[in-house]
Amino acid sequence: MDEPKEALSYARLVSRQKYYKEKALKLEKDFIFTKEQLTQVEQQLQETKIQAADHDKIQKELEALSNAYGQLKEKYDRETQENQTQLQGLQVKIETLQKSQRSEDDVDNETYQQRVKGFERLLGEVQQEINEKEKEIAVYKRRLLTLEKRLKATGEPQLSEEPNLSESNNVTRPSYRAITYSDYAIILEEKRHIIRGDFVIENVGEEPLSTPMLCFRFNPGDTAVLKGRVYHIDDALAREGDIDGVCWVFLDNDWAKESKERGEIWVHPLNKVSVDPGESLRLNDFQVPVENQFYNHLSIEVFVYFQDIDYKVKAANQILINV
């Protein structure tokens, strides 16, 4: 038997055994750290006063994450026990191999190489299991991060019930006044037209206007599609740092979903904003695709609603397209 090769293979096995023990210890620390994060999120959720509907929704997500954590922890404990058993088996085999090396006449080189390959294959399987568990932990951490961002965004505007846009303004004080309009263009294509534009809110009153809600009312109603720089809440939270300026998101509640079925789409800033007198706020680069095959006429009215003062204003112009 080639004694230097045997010594090298044995040293490699011992080194790998030490490596996997360290990986298992690191994995356990990650679980403890993740559990502490979950506890902090639960405490934040209890301390945060948000509206009942959003609270229940986030609570359900938190319970789902807690269940996922429990399942992952159970799987981790089970697989950790299995890995520990395998590592103990490896230790026994390494000790046996070490004894065998002392008696070169008792085992030939071919048998020795087969044993080494078997040990390496077993170590590879352990490595694969650890990699899979690390991926699961990474997914779990991303879910926790998303939930934490949702909790931090509890200051976002919400409407408990749909405002009546057909009623006249309740605000009679002239100090509140806004001019709103759509600045848009139509891109004509053979199969589909695209409306692209900006929506502008100008504060021409004497008082600041806080966090507007925008309602795009489509006619026909089944054409209600709004794209461009308007995001779903989860997407906006995930990429909030990459979005320049005010981030606009779709209103996410039950009545907003029902309104969309009637042809109305509600959007609002992700975080609270204030438009001071003489200043303006823009929803940049909204897009509306129109399929020529099915529609030869489309109109869009836009309404702006300021919840804090119950002030409603209709855009000075409509978006119109006739094919």
- Calculate Rg over the CA atoms of the chain: 31
307 lies in which domain range? Answer: 178-322
- Which of 155, 190, 205 terminates a domain? The answer is 155
- Which of 105, 122, 155 terminates a domain? The answer is 155
Q: What percent of the chain has pLDDT over 90?
A: 28
Pair 303, 317: CB distance under 8 Å: no
Q: Tens digit of pLDDT for each residue in 272-297?
A: 899 999 999 999 999 999 887 767 78
Residues 35 and 101 in one domain: yes
Short-list 309, 311, 213, CA closest to 264: 213
Query: How many Å apart are CA 198 and CA 287, to the nearest integer?
Result: 9
Q: pTM of whole model > 0.85?
A: no
For 129, residues 6+ apart whose C-beta sits below 8 A from its C-beta are 79, 83
| The predicted structure's pLDDT at residue 186 | 92
Residues 201 and 265 in one domain: yes
Whether residue 170 lies inside any domain: the answer is: no
Query: How many Å apart are CA 5 and CA 210, to the nearest integer?
Result: 76
Residues 294 and 197 in one domain: yes
Q: Tens digit of pLDDT for each residue in 62-82?
A: 788 778 777 877 887 887 788
Let me know the angle formed at the C-alpha of 232 by 277 and 285, rounded to the nearest 5 degrees. Answer: 55
Residues 146 and 207 in one domain: no
Average pLDDT in the 195-223 region? 93
Start-end of H helices in the chain: 3-47, 52-102, 109-152, 233-238, 254-261
For 222, residues 6+ apart whose C-beta sits below 8 A from its C-beta are 263
Residues 232 and 314 in one domain: yes
Average pLDDT in the 25-52 region? 73
Residues 97 and 187 in one domain: no
Confidence check: pLDDT of 203 > 70: yes
Residues 200 and 289 in one domain: yes
- At residue 228 the predicted structure's pLDDT band, cuts being 50, 70 and 90, is very high
Query: How many Å apart are CA 310 and CA 319, to the nearest integer?
Result: 25
Average pLDDT in the 130-142 region? 73
Number of domains in the chain: 2
Residues 196 and 118 in one domain: no
Confidence check: pLDDT of 50 > 80: no
Residues 136 and 203 in one domain: no
Computed over every residue of the chain, the mean pLDDT equals: 79
Residues 249 and 111 in one domain: no
- CATH at 194: 2.60.40.10
- Which of 124, 155, 186 terminates a domain? The answer is 155
